[in-house]
Amino acid sequence: MGILFEKEGHVAIITLNRPEAMNALDPESLEEFKGIWTEVKENRDIRVAILTGAGEKSFCTGTDMKKTPPPTECMASIYLNEGQPIIPYMKMWKPIIAAINGYAIGGGLEMALECDLRIASKKATFGLTEVKVASLAGLNGTQCLPRAIPQSIAMKMLLTGEMIDAEEAYRIGLISDLVEPAELMSVAMKYAKRIASNAPLSVKAAKQAAVLGRDLPLEHSIAFSHLMWGILRDTEDRKEGFKAFAEKRAPEYKGR
């Protein structure tokens, strides 16, 4: 199978399973990948997702060009059909953690940029190298990279196509954690379980307020955050959280 899908408690683990092809996505695994993200989004029992690659060499290097035939449709048909790119399928308010085990190149880095936490092995390498082959990081790289790291460093990566190692990625804030290869999944799972133990609606609201508020004027983003707080005020989970705190026990959140 090109993609492995597992579930541990409230955590979904998605593994790109084509190590022989640097975990690049061929047409078959791409369609499988889309279906898995739909399951993650719609399954209310899943609260957090971890995305990683099989092996220690590569997280993902984007599209498998050797197995992807040239498009037969015109550009307008491809561009306007939202079912084509993978990124729209990853758009959700459930948190996504990237456990980056090796090369995150091209579309692989663009998928990692769509994740909320990026945890990387010390063996990881990052780059948007499309300009070297007369192309463009066309999924979200040109927009999301300058939002994730300082503008000047993002422009250097985009215009030169040069790659950076995990130490540099950590220094510039592209990744949140830098770990030994053997510890990667355990650290990712630690964060996933910690997030999943929190109230699901509150976690989604926090992500939504942060993501949507980022591009709003400050006073508007604050107002939106206040609105989200008001929406959460009367939920069953908020009452459970206060009750559990008073009773000095772990809360049992149900997402309502």
- Residues 51 and 99: beta-carbon distance below 8 Å: yes
Which residues are catalytically annotated?
Answer: 110, 130
Give the closest residue to 175 by CA, choosing from 183, 167, 186: 167
Distances (CA, A) of 85 to 25, 27, 71, 114, 161: 12, 11, 13, 13, 22
SS3 category, 164:
strand
Query: Tokens for 173?
Result: 């804030």
Q: Rounded distance, CA 84 to CA 36, Å?
A: 15
Q: Which residues contact 175 (CB under 8 A, 6 or more apart)?
A: 100, 118, 119, 120, 124, 166, 169
